[in-house]
Structure 1
Amino acid sequence: MSDIRNVAVIGMGIGRSHILDGYVSNGDKFRVIALCDLSPERMDAVGEEFGISRRVTSFEDVLAMDDVDVIDVCTPPNLHFPMVMAALKAGKHVVCEKPLVGSLAQVDAIVAQEKVSRGLLMPVFQYRFGDGIEQVKAIIDAGIAGRPFVGTVETFWRRDADYYAVPWRGKWASELGGVLMGHAIHPHDMFTYLMGDIARIFGRVATRVNPIEVEDTITASLEMKSGALASFTATLGDVGNMTRLRLAFENVSFESDHTPYSPGDKLWTIEPRNGETKARIDALLKDWVHVPPGYATQMARFHAALMGTGPLPITSADSRRSLELVTAFYHSSSTHKDVALPIAPDHPLYHSWVPPDFRSS
């Protein structure tokens, strides 16, 4: 049996990036054999670009394709849960763009389904991959950085009115949130990937930039389980586009490249506290092997997991941690109270963080 796995991509928005950056770059591991989109014109453009002739508008048709091994879900967020569940029940492996689903209850339902399904599920957090973030992770995991003290995440992006011309954007029913869900979710995941779990959060959200239903400006104060403190700030009203993470540890301070959409790619600024620490870092990184950024590495490691030669690079547990932060953030903002994590099924927002007035929209 060939090691190449056949893929169907659902949704030709971010789905095109998955094909170009994730599957074409791993052509010895994956082959995209089918596309699915409600817009034949958009689907035909992608199909012609990449030479993919099988094109359908029905997701059910994809589920019935016996030669499809992996279904890659790149639809608007409100469609993720039913599609992921259906694909797992059909015995397919699944890749799903962020956010994985729209509530902690849905995450837990997917975790339960994974336990009885043949296929593996990999949520997408492509910002975790690249030389910059992986060098920092290696230094932390080696114990060189020492105790974490404090960290900041700044997601300062620009989204004008034309961005919301896409019908599903800016609406609770389809996007499930604003800057917290669709934009800062990646930098926040990078932060917890490096700094560990959150213990408590006090957050505020506001709609300041565009006349939309969801938030476009946020800020929060966090206490980590390690005892470290942190702050998150994000807006879609900046003049430019910039993402910055800065982490202060006992022995090292790290700062990301300010590239808005791939801060894990380029090398970070690494500042050791003394010569001894610098020598340990230099020795650790001396024979560093280049890590391609984003989808390229995430899909390559997904293939290793499918082959049984490596772990899943991102799991549903990672998505649950991300959506737990989102749930706590919205609850704190609405109640003006500090919120403790983890969040259990008896939490008032466990089944949905969407405001009640918008849940049936």
Structure 2
Amino acid sequence: MGTPLRMEGASAPLVRAAIVGTGNIARFHIEALTSMPDQVEVVAAADVDEENLTRFGSRHGLDALYRDVEEMLSATSPDLVHVCTPPGLHRSQVLACLEAGASALVEKPPALSLAELEAMAAAEGARGPWFATLFQHRFGSGAQRARALIESGDLGRPLVAVCHTTWYREQSYFDVPWRGRWETEGGGPTMGHGIHQMDLLAALLGDWAEVSASAHQQARTIQTEDVSLARVTFANGAVASVVNSLVSPREESYIRIDLERATIELTHLYGYGDEDWRITPAPGFEEQVTAAWKAGEAGVASGHTAQLGHVIAAVQGGTAPPVTSAESLRTMRLVAGVYASAFQRRPITPADLGADSPFHGRMDGDGPRW
């Protein structure tokens, strides 16, 4: 996933983009899109909330505003639709986009369940349209550099990792009706918050093989968990400790990977720059590791713009945009594995999460055991 390339002198057609859902997260999408005027034209927005929709259109100079997604798709024929609505709406809206011939880029979590995500993947065409998930932490230069070094073997085998999303949300945060409910949000911090860090960990370490987890209601009055803890074993033999919390007053997002020849660390909150990454060589490997780290990619912060450059380039080139449905499914299976292990109180493998599993259709499966 290097920097998207454009052919010198090439004049690719503008990607016609639309936005569904005009709440706070949509601002990040349209600001990223409008930063690429030579590649993208934002043609429409849709929202059932007329006040939000009108305000969004006025602020961003959009006249084509719709209360109905299908009407917007029919009237404006976008190439790419940014789905910025609550997760309970993602499946139906993505399927409508794909049926209309538009690729879709979906905010996290991409669906409420593995069954919904598999249905979305099945609706993709072999040559498009496709859907992708907004997992922007993969695309900062720090992550690109770390992934390249891990995959090259220059740092030796990955051995042990830490992946913590320790955030804080007051009870009032859950006053929004769809939050903290299995039916509308799909889960708690494991699903809606730590999924970004878990996706980055999977992007760096690859396929996971087994998870053992627990989930807890520590302080918030909600249906879902407000804390989860997991031990994850990866196919390459690495083991990781994963913590997701919404009750941690000192907020932090932290990833650490200890390899044979170095430790890689990332400390940030909601996004990172190069300065948030650190590498510590093992004794005897200082010169080799430092040189390899300095030679890697630099200068790109994580964020919507970082990923959208790759998405737009893929749409222009007629290829599946990242993060693809297959990669999204790997991360969502890890999320489902955490819940399945926590509630069934046993280790879970990806094979345990097939269509016959209660955790295939709902993240709470056959019911939480608090």
Partner amino acid for 1:147? R
Instruction: Select between 108-117 and 165-174 the one with higher mean Cα deviation.
Output: 108-117
1:294 aligns to what? 303
Instruction: Select between 275-284 and 294-303 the one with higher mean Cα deviation.
Output: 275-284
Distance 1:132 1:266, change over 3 A: farther
| CA distance, structure 1, for counterparts of residue 164 and residue 298 of structure 2 | 29
Distance 1:277 1:89, change over 3 A: farther
- 1:93 counterpart = 2:103: yes
> 1:108-187 counterparts in 2 under 5 A?
108-115=118-125, 118-187=128-197
Normalized against structure 1, the TM-score is what?
Answer: 0.92
Name the % identity.
32
- Asked if the contact 1:12–1:37 (Cα under 8 Å) also holds between the matched residues in 2, the reply is yes
2:226 aligns to what? 216
| CA distance, structure 2, for counterparts of residue 310 and residue 114 of structure 1 | 12
2:8 aligns to what? none
SS in 2 for 1:174: coil
- 1:19 counterpart = 2:30: yes
Partner amino acid for 2:327? D
Distance 1:284 1:214, change over 3 A: closer
TM-fit CA distance, 1:309: 7.8
| CA distance, structure 2, for counterparts of residue 236 and residue 62 of structure 1 | 36
| CA distance, structure 2, for counterparts of residue 287 and residue 242 of structure 1 | 25
Instruction: Select between 149-158 and 10-19 the one with higher mean Cα deviation.
Output: 10-19
Task: Select 1:9's aligned residue among 16, 19, 22.
Answer: 19
- Asked if the contact 1:133–1:267 (Cα under 8 Å) also holds between the matched residues in 2, the reply is no
- Asked if the contact 1:133–1:264 (Cα under 8 Å) also holds between the matched residues in 2, the reply is no
Task: Select 2:350's aligned residue among 327, 331, 341.
Answer: 341
1:238 aligns to what? 248
> 1:270-285 counterparts in 2 under 5 A?
270-274=279-283, 276=285, 278-279=287-288, 281-283=290-292, 285=294
TM-fit CA distance, 1:348: 2.9
- Asked if the contact 1:5–1:69 (Cα under 8 Å) also holds between the matched residues in 2, the reply is yes
TM-fit CA distance, 1:115: 3.2
Q: Deviations over 1:157-193 (max 9, x none)?
A: 0100221122211111111111011100000111111
| CA distance, structure 2, for counterparts of residue 333 and residue 19 of structure 1 | 38
Partner amino acid for 2:364? V
Task: Select 1:103's aligned residue among 105, 110, 113.
Answer: 113
2:86 aligns to what? 76
TM-fit CA distance, 1:232: 0.7
TM-fit CA distance, 1:310: 6.9
Distance 1:296 1:10, change over 3 A: same
Q: Deviations over 1:194-218 (max 9, x none)?
A: 1121111111111112111111101
2:323 aligns to what? 314
| CA distance, structure 2, for counterparts of residue 118 and residue 133 of structure 1 | 27
- Asked if the contact 1:144–1:277 (Cα under 8 Å) also holds between the matched residues in 2, the reply is no
Partner amino acid for 1:24? T
Instruction: Select between 26-35 and 317-326 the one with higher mean Cα deviation.
Output: 26-35
Partner amino acid for 1:134? Q
- Asked if the contact 1:88–1:117 (Cα under 8 Å) also holds between the matched residues in 2, the reply is no
Q: Deviations over 1:66-85 (max 9, x none)?
A: 44221111111011111111
Task: Select 1:194's aligned residue among 204, 209, 212.
Answer: 204
2:74 aligns to what? 64
| CA distance, structure 2, for counterparts of residue 357 and residue 251 of structure 1 | 43
Partner amino acid for 1:17? F
| CA distance, structure 1, for counterparts of residue 42 and residue 218 of structure 2 | 41
| CA distance, structure 1, for counterparts of residue 51 and residue 142 of structure 2 | 38
- Asked if the contact 1:171–1:213 (Cα under 8 Å) also holds between the matched residues in 2, the reply is yes
Q: Deviations over 1:31-66 (max 9, x none)?
A: 212111121221222222211122111112112124
Distance 1:59 1:216, change over 3 A: same
Normalized against structure 2, the TM-score is what?
Answer: 0.90
SS in 1 for 2:115: helix
Partner amino acid for 2:30? I
| CA distance, structure 1, for counterparts of residue 263 and residue 289 of structure 2 | 14
- Asked if the contact 1:265–1:293 (Cα under 8 Å) also holds between the matched residues in 2, the reply is no
